[in-house]
Structure 1
């Protein structure tokens, strides 16, 4: 990737997006995409306005009314087909992730594999949405537990895993009968276009309503629409602890639900009995994998004083 000229890189991106099924414009917009691989600007694509975001929520809310009535195994077919398309275009989407997140191609394709795996999981869940039956104190009666979809789910994802986190939320939400409006990091808009296009293809091929899935592109200002709209029943947000502190009270103030996946401050503990070579390999990967940009990145070491100097060296 690094040996390509700028024009070759742009062509590689265009080819990858086309393979995923994206047919929109890649120029003349107000959202500038860049690559951390070289620091170069890529395409200026069209972002989403707040008005357009509200329209998407309206469409998703309307689609939800019929999508929730679709049998769960049939909903699972959409996710199954999405997983098949992701498998077919694993390298194409991996290229987009590599360009925008700066990952090695093996790490980028590994992230797409996580999408494929969650589709397999959610497909199984589509036939496992069980409820309990319980005895009642009234003669001749039993109580039945039934799970219902919640509504429109807003997904806000971060740049470090630009497509995997989106799929974790979306595959399960769709199977449960919810519709999805996704606001990815503005730093990874091209990856989002590719991932969303593949889901749109799956929805179309399965003969379902395209409005069960929407994509919002832009900065935090447009993403805030998801926080404040009462029709968004659940906001699932991944990012910094600071972001979570802003999202949680804002959604809670309208009695919405939120699901937060935030940054960690994980520590490794190394005892005198540890295999230091093994510990060192684990520490380096845990601290430096994905350039340290993981929710589970190791940030601290707690080492016994008898081995501290040796381990540090």
Structure 2
């Protein structure tokens, strides 16, 4: 069966009409083979405004639905995702090029955040606050915020939407989603799955609760600039974040920015090298280096450098690269030619800066339009040149260190850093890495790699922007507004000392 035909059948099972897959001006290609699998229509500027207006009207009704009842809709969404996990996971693999276990794993993240949000719908707690006035009570109350805009990237085409949408829905918000132009089909599938949940939920769910905008940067800009969108959660490059952040700030809107991750790890003298080797290889090569949590920089103590780096090279040379839909390949394709070109430019720059490159060449297949590469290890004399920039491809820069303080300083000496890790059995090193003087990233791990974040923790906190958090912990507060309430239950209104007036 051709990949285009399989895509059509999957989308039909998921509830997407075949008419939505042809005749449009946006060509969708699978990175697995490079072939065209659909042509979908794109929204106009006027369409964006109408979608936001509809979502705002839905919010005005949805905010009045009790939070536990709102949680019921998210519970049903989780059930629908469970029922269609195989089809949606397969579609993720086709549209992004992930190996099957990663495609299914992404859908599992969606299910997990639904479970989390259902419980959260009964835990939107406010504080009771001690007041200095007698006969008074003071408390905080959390209220729904409004329309939540979600802009997602290609590398996690469905999970990122669910992290935001599940929380937004239980918090009483509506959602307008602008997915990546590279992954519109998975977004249409999620829209159809959500519609199934709404149908089961009943009339308490107003029309317009979720709107999907298929389009380019202009659609994203219209979403960011709209006055009826008080919060935009955007995932992507730091370049994108620098464009989105000021526009939101200009109208005093909120931003959750989960941006680039030039993530690093430190291998200390006491590290369990077998454990470190597995975590490093998985973190650096998984999803062909196209995760926001991909390990990209590695600082190895000089005493263990010659014990671990040759073994890493061997793993890189032996890892299977190929079609993720067939066989047992562990590394699938890059998303497109642009990603491949950027990888080659970075490797050339690394060589020019004195780096020694192992791997990185294109792996030839029967599909001229698909870009498979062998992951690259680059041994660098120092952290310079391309090491300071994130390249969204499987490149791991490796550097020696002698002093822990210096390694920590080098670890933190880049602008973009989302996740981090240290491999050590030294308690002092581990605790320093987690302390205020340690890793400055939103995620800091000990004896585990940089990838594999769980929904229970608030995800994000990209250090260059301080850009907010999504998913677990108390991230829900970003999707609501706080009110402080004071209630006077005394018989009089206290006045300032010496102040009085006649009210008769």
Q: Same fold (TM over 0.5)?
A: yes
Q: Report how many residues are paired.
A: 307
Of the three residues 296, 303, 306, the one matched with 1:306 is 303
Matched, 1:18 2:12: yes
Of the three residues 106, 114, 121, the one matched with 1:111 is 106
CA contact (8 A) 1:135 1:141 kept: no
Q: CA deviation at 1:265?
A: 1.5
Distance 1:294 1:53 in 2: 29
TM-score normalised to structure 1 length = 0.95
Matched, 1:200 2:191: no
Distance 1:65 1:151 in 2: 8
1:197-276 matches, within 5 Å, as: 197-207=192-202, 208-276=205-273
- Larger radius of gyration, structure 1 or 2? 2
Q: CA deviation at 1:278?
A: 2.0
Of the three residues 111, 124, 136, the one matched with 2:131 is 136
1:276-295 matches, within 5 Å, as: 276-295=273-292
Output one character per residue of 1:216-239: Cα deviation in whole Å (capped at 9) or x when no partner: 001111111111111110000001
Distance 2:212 2:82 in 1: 21
Task: Give the unaligned 5+ runs of structure 2.
Answer: 311-504
Task: Give the unaligned 5+ runs of structure 1.
Answer: none
Distance 2:187 2:278 in 1: 33
**Structure whose residues are more often helix by fraction:** 1
**Alignment RMSD (CA, Å):** 1.1
Of the three residues 167, 176, 179, the one matched with 1:181 is 176
Of the three residues 48, 54, 70, the one matched with 1:59 is 54
CA contact (8 A) 1:122 1:171 kept: yes
Q: CA deviation at 1:289?
A: 1.1
TM-score normalised to structure 2 length = 0.60
Q: CA deviation at 1:260?
A: 0.4
CA contact (8 A) 2:71 2:121 kept: yes
Q: Aligned residue for 2:85?
A: 90
Distance 1:301 1:89 in 2: 39
Secondary structure in 1 aligned to 2:65?
Answer: coil
Output one character per residue of 1:232-264: Cα deviation in whole Å (capped at 9) or x when no partner: 100000011111111100111011110000111
Q: Aligned residue for 1:158?
A: 153
Of the three residues 186, 191, 195, the one matched with 1:191 is 186
Distance 2:84 2:223 in 1: 30
Secondary structure in 2 aligned to 1:187?
Answer: coil
Output one character per residue of 1:29-50: Cα deviation in whole Å (capped at 9) or x when no partner: 1111110000111111111111
Distance 1:25 1:235 in 2: 27
Moved over 6 A (4+): none
